[in-house]
Amino acid sequence: MMKGFYNLTSGMLSQGRRLDVVANNMTNISTAGYKAEHYTDRTFDEVMAVRIGNQVKNAYQELPTYQAHILAPDHLYTDFSQSSFEETNLPLDFAIQGEGFFAIQTVDGVAYTRAGSFTLDNEGYLCLSELGRVLDNEGNQIQLPTDKLEVDQQGNLSTKDGEYLATLGVYMFEDNGELERTPYGLFTGGGAQLNEEATILHKWVERSNVNMVKEMVNMMTTQRALQSAAQMSKIYNEVITRAVGDIGRMQ
């Protein structure tokens, strides 16, 4: 009886976490460059056996299925697939076609993003609003005298008169799965390499890769699972309460 109660409670907690992830994805459906997150879980026994039983904790092997169904968080991963592009005609909007990220110098160090909706700060530096300044292909901050630019597909920024200003840096990683997402939607990680093969689209942005239909289905499925678990938990609680009462009367 108590085992079933624990299973239901862990299921409710797991579905609640999944619902939070789905809600965050849906909130960012219109956020340029946003990459969808997905939540997975495993049984508590499996997670404990994997973490304790292997010396290498982050590269574990699959183990046989266990009888216990108490769920524990397993992995929150990001879908880095490229999304479609949207033309904005704004002079400081850029999109990357291909692998890679824009580099942003934040107060906590260099972070990376696919969001290319930039502005100029008070000192004329190209920046991602309120988060940091954009870096060029040499890791330097980009200062521009104007937003009237000519931009080629290699990311070379020039004035209307043809004066070269800078080249947007596009950086890629051997494994995007090793990147960590920051609270502001940027990514951090080591081993960044310059990607000179990427194509820069000027006055375009990459749209969010969230699939609204799938997220709606996930939301409804998760809500129903959560409601079912909550209802069953209530029934278990009533049964346990009655059993305790009956035992008391027998004494």
Instruction: Give the start-to-end residue ranges of the domains of the chain.
Output: 2-80+210-250, 85-206
Distance separating the N- and C-terminal Cα atoms of the chain: 21
pLDDT at 188 over 80: yes
**Among 66-70, 121-125, 172-176, 203-207, where is mean pLDDT lowest?**
66-70
Q: What is the pTM of this model?
A: 0.74
d(Cα 181, Cα 177) in Å, to the nearest integer?
10
Q: Any idea which residue has 């820069």 for tokens? A: 200
Using alpha carbons, list the distances in angstroms from residue 157 to 20, 137, 144, 235.
40, 12, 9, 66
Pairing of strands 101-106, 109-113: antiparallel
pLDDT band with cut points at 50, 70 and 90 for residue 93: very high
Choice between 13 and 164, residue whose per-residue pLDDT is larger: 164
Averaged pLDDT score across all residues of the chain:
82
Choice between 11 and 196, residue whose per-residue pLDDT is larger: 196
- Report yes or no: 242 and 31 within 8 Å, Cβ to Cβ: no
**pLDDT for res 15:** 76
**pLDDT for res 70:** 47
Q: Which of 70, 33, 43, 18 is nearest to 218 (CA)?
A: 18
Q: Which of 210, 204, 32 is nearest to 114 (CA)?
A: 32
**pLDDT for res 61:** 53
Alpha helices in the chain (DSSP H): 2-27, 44-53, 212-250
Q: Which of 7, 40, 43, 8 is nearest to 21 (CA)?
A: 40
Cβ contacts of 204 within 8 Å, gap of 6 or more: 85, 86, 87, 88, 93, 94, 95
